[in-house]
Every structure is written in C-alpha cells, then in structure tokens.
Structure 1
Amino acid sequence: MILYPAIDLKDGNCVRLYKGEMEQATVFNDNPAAQAMAFVEAGCEWLHLVDLNGAFAGEPVNGAAVDAILAQTKVPAQLGGGIRDMATIERWLNKGLARVILGTVAVENPDLVREAARAFPGQVAIGLDARNGMVATRGWAEETDIEVTALARQFEDAGVAALIYTDINRDGAMQGPNVEATAALAHAVSIPVIASGGVSSLDDLRALKATGAPLNGAISGRALYDGAIDLKEALDLLKA
C-alpha cells in the first residue's frame, strides 16, 4: 500500500478542513512547496494535492502553489479540485502531474471521464466523496442520491487508474477511516481503491491492511501535521 500525504490548498496555504467545512480550516503551512519537500525527504513516494478553492469555483484557483510543488519535487503527484473540462486536464498533465482526480464531473459529465481516461491512460482517477454512503459534489457542498458503489461500477470499463474514496464525515476529524465501507468498495470493483478521510493513526493503517481488500493505498493529512502518525513508521508499515 502507498501512503499519500495530503496537501490541501486554500488561499495559497496548506490547510486541513474539519468534515469538509471551508470555514473550519486550520493553516499548517504557508509554504505548500516546502511542505511537499518535507514529505518527499521523509520518504513519501507520492503526493496527494487538493485545490479546495477550485472545488467550489469549478476551475483551478491554487495553480501557483501546485506549480511550485511540481517544480520542487520529483515524486509523482495527483491533484483534485476544480478540474472539470478536457483543457484543464490536459494543461495539468502537461505541467507534470502524474494523475488528475475528477470528482464532480464523474456525476455531472461521466462521458468526459471516459474520454479523459482513454486519452490519458493511467492518469485519470475518480474522487468518490460521500456522506452516509451517498456521493457529494462541488466541494462536498451538494449531495446527490447516487450511492458510491453504483457510481464506481459505471466506470469499470473506462480505464480509470484509481478510485479515491473519502468518507466526508471522517475527514479531518481524527476518528479513523470508514474501514468497512472502504473495503466493501474495493471488493465490489476492479479499479484500485485509495482510502481517504480520517486516517489518523498507525492502527488505522493496520486496520485497512487487515481487511485483505485490494487497496492501493491511504491518504492522510491532519495526523501527519499533528504528529499523530509518525511518517517513517507509517511508510515502513505499509511497505511490509
């Protein structure tokens, strides 16, 4: 399993939200590129980036911060937030992103996801963000009546690189991930699943591994900043 340290970008800063609420943002670093380098120097082999403002605006907002991260780091990075058309997908991938994450458009324009996955094999992931098992879109502000697994199964044959499953009610709350729902999704589809939301201890990572589900990895943010997860121990655990 891969550990993806999360760098959530709001107003040019590296922040963490509490349960997806923009007004409940804690700034952890005003230099996202420096934060990214710290993760890389500690041994992380991927970075998970989110343009929080972009998710609400529907277009990239924290592009300068992402550019700085890409310029300073050499490990692959994936980015979500406000990526809703082919031109934006192409622009980010041409800048050196390894993977774009499409969330809202997976609900509102699934044909774009399919087109992008065909055009850029292995470089398109889907962000499945859910409250109580139902998908939420547009920066988690709008809830749908679409069940997570049902949406995921629509893209089984699309060539999508990964599904990033976030339980919004766990995100930033330091209460542990929704292990059961994450494992169920990974067993239900053939697309690799990345766990997100609430990963706050080494025991959480052990619990995800212990499910036996074919998980690609786990994303953690606040716990890494707070020191609740020792990064080196976490990397060693997931590689074992």
Structure 2
Amino acid sequence: MILYPAIDLKNGQCVRLRQGDMAQATVFNPDPADQARRFAASGAEWIHIVDLDGAFAGRAVNGAAVEAILEAANRPCQLGGGIRDLAAIEAWLARGLSRVILGTVAVRDPDLVRQACRLFPGRVAVGIDAKGGFVAVEGWAETSALTVEELAARFEDAGVAAIIHTDIDRDGLLKGVNVEATAALARRTRIPVIASGGVAGLEDLRRLLAAGDIAGVVAGRALYDGRLDLGEALALLASARRQSPERDPRKTQLC
C-alpha cells in the first residue's frame, strides 16, 4: 500500500477543508512547492494534488502552484480538480504530471475517460467522491443518483490506473477512514483502489492493511497537524510490503 501525502490548493496556498466546505479552509503552508519538498525529503513516493478552486470552476485555477510542485517535488504526482476535457488531460501530462484524476467528467462523460485511458495508458485515475454511498460531483457541491459501485463498474475494463475513493462525510475531520466502504469497493473491482478521507493516525493505516486489497491511502490534515508522522507511516507500509505479498496479483501495479 502506498501513502499519498495530499496538497490541496486554494488561492495558490496549501489548505485543508472540512467535508469539502470551501468556507472552512485552514491554510497550512502558503508555499505549496515548499510543502512538496518537505514531503519528498521525508521519503514520500507520490504526491496527491487537488486544485480545489478548479474543481468548482471546471478548469485549472491553481496551475502555477501545480507547476511549482512538479518542479520542486521530483516525485510522481497525481492531480485532480477541474480536469474536464481531453485537451486539459494532454496538457497536464505533457507538463510532467504522472497521472490525472477525473471526477465530475467520469460521471458526465464516461466515454472521455475511456478515450483518455486508451491514449494515455496507466496515467488516468478516476476520483469517486462518496456521500452516503452516492457519487458527488462539481467539487462536492452536487450529489448524483449514481452509486459508488455503479460508477466503478462503468470503467472495469477501460484501463483506469486507480480509483481514489473519498468519503466526504469524513474528509478533513480526523474521524477515521471508512475502511469498510473502501474495502468493499476494492473487492468488487479489478481496478486498484486508493482510500481517502478521514485518516487520523497510524491505526487507520493498520486497519487498511488488515482489510487487504487496498492499493493506497491519501492523508492530509493528520500529516499537517502532527497526528500522523510521515516517516513512521512510510516505515509501517514498507514493513508490511516486505512481510506480505499482494493478495490480488491484478492490483500489483504501482499506484
């Protein structure tokens, strides 16, 4: 399982929200590039980036901050938020991004996701943001009638590199990750699943590891406020990889 430290961008700064509420943003670092360097220096394998303003605007808003992160991190980075067409996907991948995350467009235009997967194999992920088991879109401002499982099933054979499953009700609240829902989704799909939302400490990582078949986890607020030490977390996951082979060989790709 891979740990993805999160950098959420609002007005060019590194922030964390509570349950996706833009009015409840806490600034943790005004310099996202500096934050990326800190994560990389601590041994992070990947960095997870979200353009929060872009998610609401439907286009890139914090592009300059993302580019600064890419230059500073020297690590694979994945980006979500406001990526809604093929031109944007191609442009970001050309700038050095390792993977794009498609959320709203995965609901609105699933054919675009399939096309992007064909054109850029291994570099397209789907973000499934769940509220009460249903998929939220437009920066979590709307909830669709589509269930998490239904959306995942649409892309079962599309070549999606990963699904980032976020429990909105827990995001930014340090209430503990929704292991049960994430593990259930992981068991029902061949696509590697990354857990997101609510990580509060090492115990959450242990629970995710015990559940099996979960490819990764995104952590944000817990890293920023010191509840989760990145070095300790990475050591725990490295030890688990050495001791236990992957349970599902279909999910051994780097996630």
For residue 53 of structure 2, give the secondary structure of its aligned residue in structure 1.
helix
Q: Deviations for 1:160-187, whole angstroms, at most 9, x for unmatched residues?
A: 0000000000000000011000000000
| Structure 1: runs of 5 or more not aligned | none
Which residue of structure 2 lines up, in the alignment, with residue 222 of structure 1?
221
Percent identity between the aligned chains? 65
For residue 169 of structure 2, give the secondary structure of its aligned residue in structure 1.
helix
Q: Deviations for 1:51-80, whole angstroms, at most 9, x for unmatched residues?
A: 000000000000000010111121100000
Which residue of structure 1 lines up, in the alignment, with residue 207 of structure 2?
207
Tell me the amino acid that sits aligned with residue 28 of structure 2.
F
Tell me the amino acid that sits aligned with residue 224 of structure 1.
L
Return the TM-score normalized by structure 2.
0.93
Structure 1 residue 36 displacement after superposition:
0.4
Q: Distance in 1 between matches of 2:151 and 2:67?
A: 31
Q: Distance in 2 between matches of 1:239 and 1:181?
A: 24
Query: Would you say 1:231 and 2:230 are equivalent positions?
Result: yes
Return the TM-score normalized by structure 1.
0.99
Which residue of structure 1 lines up, in the alignment, with residue 244 of structure 2?
none
What pairs up with 1:17-36 in 2 under 5 angstroms?
A: 17-36=17-36
Q: In the comparison of the two structures, how many residue pairs are matched?
A: 239
For residue 101 of structure 1, give the secondary structure of its aligned residue in structure 2.
strand
Tell me the amino acid that sits aligned with residue 236 of structure 1.
A
Which residue of structure 2 lines up, in the alignment, with residue 97 of structure 1?
97
Q: Distance in 2 between matches of 1:238 and 1:185?
A: 21
For residue 82 of structure 1, give the secondary structure of its aligned residue in structure 2.
coil
Structure 1 residue 239 displacement after superposition:
1.4
Tell me the amino acid that sits aligned with residue 105 of structure 1.
V
For residue 169 of structure 1, give the secondary structure of its aligned residue in structure 2.
coil
Query: Would you say 1:106 and 2:103 are equivalent positions?
Result: no
Q: Deviations for 1:184-216, whole angstroms, at most 9, x for unmatched residues?
A: 00000000000000011100000011112x111
Q: Distance in 1 between matches of 2:154 and 2:91?
A: 26
Which residue of structure 2 lines up, in the alignment, with residue 49 of structure 1?
49
Which residue of structure 2 lines up, in the alignment, with residue 188 of structure 1?
188
Could you list the runs of 4 or more consecutive aligned residues of structure 1 that deviate by over 4 angstroms after TM superposition?
Answer: none
Q: Distance in 2 between matches of 1:200 and 1:116?
A: 34
